[in-house]
Amino acid sequence: MKLPVVTNYVNNNCLHSCLMSERKGPFGLRLPGTLFDWLKSEADHSSRSTTSEALFQLRNSLDREFCDEQVENFIKNNPPSDNTEAFGLRIPDDLKAILKMHSDNHQMSLNQEIVMRLASEKHHRSISNDVIHAHANGNGFDGETMKITDSEKQFLLVFRKLNTSNKELIIRLIKNLGDSAQNQV
């Protein structure tokens, strides 16, 4: 395997390290049909390609740690099978290296690691998109289970993609709108 070349260059008096990788073919990923269908659906909702959505979900999954028991359960309950969808995925070298490190730690193939992470993101999203337990103090929502409407789901999908400062700005805006609505009543 040929290693990426690291070059340094100076730009605006700053030293940058630039990882240059040669062009490679896609990784031959095998996904369960339901997971592939979910990925396509998420891509449609997010106005992204299936590849971009897969990379987005994989990067999000890096925030999650999987304990040994979770990995063992995944392997036991998700044996490689022939009824999977082939999906050519071009994975950037940096992400692929991180995923490979995790797959080595979990003693599973890179394909299994990717499937486990995507399945985890699907599960996490399905729970958070369908039902929430509200704990807004003073508004009568403490512990109450509420269904999320389609427009709220759409808002959450867009909101999750924002950087932290934009999220804080949106939260302040919504609070101000809520406060002004209460003052008008």
| Residue 163 pLDDT > 70 | yes
**How far apart are the C-alpha atoms of 118 and 168, rounded to whole Å?**
27
| 86-111 average pLDDT score | 92
Nearest to 25 by CA among 128, 76, 78, 96: 96
Decide which of 1.10.1220.10, 1.20.1740.10, 1.10.8.80, 3.30.465.10 is the CATH code for 25-128: 1.10.1220.10
Phi, psi at 63, each rounded to 5°: -75, -15
- The residue ranking higher by pLDDT, 117 or 181, is 117
- With a cut of 80, say whether residue 61 has pLDDT above it: yes
Mean model confidence pLDDT for the chain? 77
Q: For 15-19, 28-32, 80-84, 88-92, which range has the lowest pLDDT when averaged over its residues?
A: 15-19
- In which element (H, E) is residue 25 found? none
User: Does position 142 have pLDDT exceeding 80, yes or no?
Assistant: no
Give the angle 69-123-166 at the CA atoms, nearest 5°: 115
Q: Is the pLDDT of residue 175 over 70?
A: yes
